[in-house]
């Protein structure tokens, strides 16, 4: 256990160095190799706050805490109603008296930031509209497993400039990947995220670029990544997104332009026939289920280090 990580929050990958993220990936590998060999969280409790539902997030965190010897307590939106029924400040301070960590999956990123400000225990970002750092840690773990390295890997993301694109830019920049975001005009990631990713890339040796040509973007790519075109809570924009992003569908024609041994990735849930075809999502290049499994191991590493 690295004592420098104990008690820290996990809100964004940008808060961690390449050395720290590499260490977390190494811990995740070790925990994956011996799932029940580390019982570091016996007697520890984790609160799971859900403003947005998720099968993978709930199951992976609950199973992860159980395997590490701890216990997870699931709190539904109706039970908490962050900022409505009860102030975020009060929720953070009260839960800090009961539990050893708080995982939150919500809408506005300011909610996890405010929880972290007032909580006396680590706060873990299970997803916000802005960022999805737990998923990208699992993605980096998966790429390293399959490719044997991260530095120099060419990753192309196709689709909406959403929380996945944002976290892939940040995590990729830190770990030395060459990240390309291919998206439609008007669907680009927020300027503050791309600017921060460029700063991190300059510091750690990665690269980040945003383009509008999907064909040029995928040529020679080692990893092809996509996500749903309209995230949860953005259903009103769905039709507009579908029309704008149709040329960015991850299909066999685009896969054929990437490296022969490229990986196809998707964080799930997938809308087959929209952002990705079933042929590609279930094809020989796909590692989507390895990604899903690695959510468990990567998040166990986070829990083991932050709550230990």
Q: pLDDT tens per residue, the chain (308 residues)?
A: 788 999 999 999 999 999 999 999 999 999 999 999 999 999 999 999 999 989 999 999 999 999 999 999 999 888 887 878 889 999 999 999 999 999 999 999 999 999 999 999 999 999 999 999 999 999 999 999 999 999 999 999 999 999 999 999 999 999 999 999 999 999 999 999 999 999 999 999 999 999 999 999 999 999 999 999 987 666 678 888 999 999 999 999 999 999 999 999 999 999 999 999 999 999 999 999 999 999 999 999 999 999 99
Q: Which of 105, 196, 285, 304 is catalytic?
A: 105
Question: Which ranges in the chain belong to alpha helices (H)?
Answer: 18-33, 55-67, 77-80, 88-98, 109-118, 133-147, 163-174, 191-204, 214-218, 238-245, 252-255, 278-281, 288-307
Q: How many CB atoms lie within 10 A of CB 111?
A: 20
152: its two tokens: 């120099």
Non-local (6+) Cβ contacts of 217 within 8 A are 156, 158, 180, 182, 211
Q: Which fold has domain 135-291?
A: Rossmann fold (3.40.50)
Q: Which of 144, 196, 266, 295 is catalytic?
A: 295
- Domain made up of 13-131+295-307: CATH architecture: 3-Layer(aba) Sandwich (3.40)
Q: Which of 132, 144, 297, 304 is catalytic?
A: 132
Distance in Å from the first CA to the final CA of the chain: 8
d(CA 237, CA 37): 46
Q: Would you call 56 a catalytic residue per the annotation?
A: no
Q: Would you call 105 a catalytic residue per the annotation?
A: yes
Q: Would you call 30 a catalytic residue per the annotation?
A: no
Give the pTM. 0.97
How is the chain split into domains, by residue range? Answer: 13-131+295-307, 135-291
- The closest of 70, 87, 71, 80 to 49, measured between CA atoms, is 80
Q: Would you call 135 a catalytic residue per the annotation?
A: yes
Asked if residue 63 lies in contact with residue 296, where contact means CB atoms within 8 angstroms, the answer is yes
d(CA 138, CA 119): 26
Q: What share of the chain is helix, strand, coil (3-state, %, to 5)?
A: 45, 15, 35
Q: What is the pLDDT of residue 232?
A: 64
Q: Would you call 291 a catalytic residue per the annotation?
A: no
Q: Would you call 132 a catalytic residue per the annotation?
A: yes
Radius of gyration of the chain (CA): 19
Asked if residue 169 lies in contact with residue 193, where contact means CB atoms within 8 angstroms, the answer is yes
Q: Which of 135, 249, 291, 299 is catalytic?
A: 135
């Amino acid at each position: 256990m690295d004592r420098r990580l104990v008690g820290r929050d996990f809100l964004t990958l940008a808060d961690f160095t390449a050395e720290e993220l590499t260490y977390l990936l190494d811990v995740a590998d070790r925990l994956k190799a011996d799932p029940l060999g580390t019982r570091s969280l016996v007697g520890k409790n984790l609160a799971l706050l859900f403003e947005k539902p998720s099968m993978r997030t709930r199951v992976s965190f609950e199973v992860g805490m159980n395997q590490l010897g701890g216990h997870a307590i699931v709190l539904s939106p109706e039970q908490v109603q962050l900022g409505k029924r009860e102030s975020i400040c009060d929720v953070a301070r009260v839960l800090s008296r009961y539990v050893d960590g708080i995982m939150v999956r919500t809408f506005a990123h300011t909610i996890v930031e405010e929880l972290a400000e007032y909580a006396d225990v680590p706060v873990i970002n299970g997803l916000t509209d802005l960022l999805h750092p737990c998923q990208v840690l699992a993605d980096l773990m998966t790429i390293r497993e399959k490719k044997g390295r991260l530095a120099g890997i060419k990753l192309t993301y196709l689709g909406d400039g959403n929380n996945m694109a944002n976290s892939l830019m940040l995590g990729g920049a830190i770990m030395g990947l060459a990240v390309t975001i291919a998206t439609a005009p008007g669907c680009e990631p927020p300027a503050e995220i791309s600017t921060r990713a460029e700063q991190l890339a300059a510091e750690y040796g990665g690269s980040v670029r945003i383009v509008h040509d999907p064909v040029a973007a995928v040529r020679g790519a080692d990893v092809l990544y996509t996500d749903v075109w309209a995230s949860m809570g953005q259903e009103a924009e769905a039709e507009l997104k579908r029309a704008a992003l149709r040329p960015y569908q991850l299909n066999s024609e685009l896969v054929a332009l990437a490296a022969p041994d490229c990986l196809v990735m998707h964080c799930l849930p997938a809308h087959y026939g929209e952002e990705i075809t079933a042929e590609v999502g279930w094809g020989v290049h796909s590692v989507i289920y390895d990604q899903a499994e690695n959510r468990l191991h990567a998040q166990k590493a986070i829990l083991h280090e932050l709550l230990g």
